[in-house]
Structure formats: structure tokens, C-alpha cells
A and B are shown apart, each in its own frame.
Chain A
Amino acid sequence: MRLDIILRVLAKLLIPFAVMFASYVQFHGDFGPGGGFQAGVIAAAAVIFYALIYGLPSARKVVPDALVEAMIALGVLIYAGVGVAGLLLGGNFLDYFVLAHDPVHGQHRGIFWVEVGVLVTVFAVMLKIFYVFAGRSRSPVDSEDAS
């Protein structure tokens, strides 16, 4: 894998577009199809693609394990935090109308942050599952080929 130049060049070309598409799906999700779940999986797929071509260790360097594990919890916390923010500002749990002066803007803001939370958790969980699967090896010697 390491020396396969066609795969490496193609991956280098494609991965930026995959990440770009993921962020488009995320931030344009209010207007077109998409949202946190979709963007999360697409972004995770981009990183997994990178890991397949360039090897698991270099992917672990780009997105380290500790960061992924923190992100798993962080996403849920962001989501629940939006709910708590609504509580603190005098609404119900997950009530977005109170998040800004204008209720419609409040809805926008709430939906945006909720989707960010979903994105973070889904991305991290998908990536983590791939990492633990690919990190295991049949015999201790050839852990490299798992990627």
C-alpha cells in the first residue's frame, strides 16, 4: 500500500473534497439535505480512507486517539449543553426560542449547535470503531496490514 503511487495521489486529490462535502452537508443542512449524522459519517469516511491508503499510524497522527475519545463524549455534552442553556435562559430543556432575542434566530442557533453535537459524536464514534478494529491484529507481528 505504502508505495502505490496512484492510490496515494488519488487519495490526496479526493480527501479534501470529501471533507469539504462533509462540511457542506453539515452547514448547509438547514437548507438542503443533510445534517449532523450524514456529515459525521462522511467526515469519518474521509479519515478512514486516509487510513486505508496511508496506513493507520499516520491517520492516528492526524486524528489522535485521545482526541477521538474526548470527542465521543464532547458531542453529547454539546447537545445536552444546548438544552441546559435553554433552561438557564428561562425556557424549557431544549427550548431554542430563548437562545436569541428573535425566536427564529434562537431556533437557528439551537439547531446549529445541536447539529454540531451530533456531528462530533457520530464522527468520533465511527472513527473510534474503525481504529479499534483496525488496530487489532491476528498475530502480534503484522498489526500494520490491518489497515
Chain B
Amino acid sequence: MGAAAIGIARQRNLFGVVLLSGIYSFLMATLLVVLDAVDVAMTEAAVGAGISTVLLLGAIYLAGSTESKPIHKPWLPLFVVAVTGGVLVYGTLGLPAFSDPQAPIHQHVAPQYLKEGPEKTGVPNVVTEVLASYRGFDTLGETTVVFTAGIGVIALLRRGKPRKRFKSRDSAKAGDGGGAS
């Protein structure tokens, strides 16, 4: 994954960058499977490696596939990134050890969810149970966020008049394709 990340940073050809980020997402998905977070791994594989790769390829098609040379030297951003990363790593030192059962996050409501959840909801999958039932409001908010994102993209990218023209031509072409298959 580190190699993929460095490759992404160094690569000037955006096609390569997109493929590398797809590889990165797949590695991330396997890592999440190793961590027993299968739900997240599924999403990562489908969105990160699948759909966003396709979207980025579409964007490359629209915008051209080589990155222009940067105007400024990259030292200041590199410094900021290094300092932020260092602070974050320093912050992890204060966290409880990985998969420590005594960690505060496992003491608050998690035992209750794990113990009562299956009986109360009759749903064996704890992720679904917490997501849809205990945290129903949060998930409603998430769905609204996705909805808002969709509306935003439509508002930005959808074009009024020319689109109708495209549509008529598209449907004509689809007619040809249907005949060929």
C-alpha cells in the first residue's frame, strides 16, 4: 500500500494514478477483511476500487491525462503534511492498545448493544442492528448526505438545453445498437 501511495504521488500520468489508486483501494479492502470489518471492506471494494475508478477515468477523458508541471516547489506542502502526520502518529501513542478489551470505547454502550441487541431486534448481524436500529437517526442523516451529494452533482454537471439534444441522438444510436445485438 505504501508503494502504491508513493507511486500515486510521483506519477505524472494520470491514467497510471487512477489504476494505482484502484490497487490501493483493493489492498485497503483486503486489510479491512483481515480486521474483520467485512461490511466496510465490501463498500471499499465496490466504491473505492470500482465506481470511483470508473468516474476518475471518465474525468480523465474529459480533462486530459497528463498532469501539468507544478508552478511552486512542493516543500511547504510537504512540510505541512509531515508535521500533521507526525502529530497524528504522536496522538496514536495515547490511544489504548489495538483490540484491548478494556479500552473505553468497549465499556460504554457496546456491551449493551452486543448483549441486548440480538434479543431485542432479532437481528444476528450486530452491524446492521446498530446501524439501522440503535443509530437510526445517524443513518437517516447519512442517507440524506448521500442524497445531497447526488443533488449537488446534478446541479453542477447537468446541462439544460444541450442535454436534450444529446438524448435524442443517444436514443437514435441505441436503436442502432439494439438492431446489431
Write out, one digit per residue, whether chain B residues 140-169 have a CB within 8 A of any chain A CB (1) or not (0): 101110110111011001110011001001
Residues of B within 8 A of A121 (CB): 143, 146-147, 150
Contact residue among B43, B128, B170 (Cβ-Cβ distance under 8 Å from A30): B128
Closest chain B residue to A22 by CB distance?
B46
B125 near A32 with CB under 8 A, answer yes
- Asked if residues B128 and A94 are in contact (CB atoms below 8 Å), the reply is no
Instruction: Kindly identify, within residues 93 to 140 of chain A, every residue whose CB is under 8 Å from any CB belonging to chain B.
Output: 93-94, 96, 103-105, 107-108, 110-111, 114-115, 117-118, 121-122, 124-126, 128-130, 132-138, 140
Given A31-B125, A110-B133, A146-B58, A75-B177 contact (CB < 8 Å): no
**Whole-angstrom distance from the CB of B101 to the nearest CB of chain A?**
22
Task: Kindly state whether residue B120 has any CB partner on chain A within 8 Å.
Answer: yes
Encoded as 1 (CB less than 8 Å from any A CB) or 0, chain B from 43 to 85 comes to 1001100110011001101100000000000000000000000
Task: Evaluate contact between A41 and B54: CB separation under 8 angstroms.
Answer: no
Contact B136 A146 (CB under 8 A): no
**Would you give the shortest CB distance from B119 to chain A, in whole angstroms?**
8
In Å, the complex CA distance between A125 and B150 comes to: 5
* Chain B residues near A117 (CB-CB < 8 A): 143
Report the interface size for chain A: residues with CB under 8 A from the other chain: 67
Known contacts A58-B178, A114-B132; A94/B125 CB under 8 A: no
Closest to B119 in A: A104
Instruction: Say yes or no: B59 contacts A133, CB within 8 Å.
Output: yes
Given contacts A33-B125, A118-B142, A138-B61, 15 further A-B contacts (CB under 8 A): A35-B127, A38-B46, A41-B46, A41-B47, A41-B51, A55-B173, A56-B170, A60-B170, A76-B143, A114-B136, A117-B143, A125-B147, A137-B166, A146-B58, A146-B62
Show the binding face of A for B, using Cβ within 8 Å.
2, 8, 25, 29-35, 37-38, 41-42, 44-45, 48, 52, 54-58, 60-61, 69, 72-73, 75-76, 79-80, 83, 93-94, 96, 103-105, 107-108, 110-111, 114-115, 117-118, 121-122, 124-126, 128-130, 132-138, 140, 143-146
